[in-house]
Amino acid sequence: MAKHLQTAQQDYQLRILNFVLMNNHFHMLAETPLSNLGDVMNYFMREVSREIGKKSGRINHVFGGRYHATVIREPYYFAHAYKYVYRNPVRANLVKSVQLYPYSTLQNLWKASTYEIPTVFANHNLAHLIPKERESLIKWLNQALPKECDEILRKALKKSEFKLSSRRNDRKAVQILNRYQKEAGTSCSKAPK
């Protein structure tokens, strides 16, 4: 899998900001300066499926479904998506804390991993709300959100553009997300309008 992501980086100029492999799906935040995400995902999912099929003799689908692309335009939303991706194994009860999950690129940020996925730290305007120092980042990532907040984030990641729900039933969860973002010590004080 790592070699296919390396090829995607080289041939398609994909910049992987984070990646977490689960048992039947993966989560990835990435930038595609060439606006070629469809080509990247076609290549990546096809080649990984082929490789797994060869090694396992498997003929069925490898991934749980097609990929969902979501454009993220706001730093506030980017911070929540970034955290959501790295917390996926914790929510699935596979590990107690994000840094213990072996199939995540979190350790790549400090060159402490043999997981050879070419990861770059999100170092642009969207990422300024994410703690940069290792201990602060780990603490922030391990700060769990209430289940209703995770559900709001999951729904936002299924949309073509990441936006938190404005439904009356979801307002409390959005307020909780705002409070958690403030408590993380970032400069974010409220959700974008």
Domain containing 42 equals 2-48+65-183
CATH number at residue 22: 3.30.70
User: What's the token pair of residue 189?
Assistant: 């004080």
Judged by DSSP in three states, 17 sits in strand
pLDDT tens digits, residue range 9-60? 889 999 888 899 888 788 999 988 899 999 998 898 888 888 887 887 776 6
pLDDT tens digits, residue range 89-100? 999 999 999 999
CA nearest to 45, candidates 55, 33, 37: 37
In a domain, 158, yes or no: yes
In a domain, 115, yes or no: yes
pLDDT greater at residue 190 or residue 134: 134
User: What's the token pair of residue 118?
Assistant: 């070419």
Looking at residue 145, the DSSP 8-state letter turns out to be P
* Domains contained in the chain, number: 1
Looking at residue 57, the DSSP 8-state letter turns out to be -
In a domain, 192, yes or no: no
In a domain, 59, yes or no: no
In a domain, 174, yes or no: yes
CB 137 within 8 A of CB 17: no
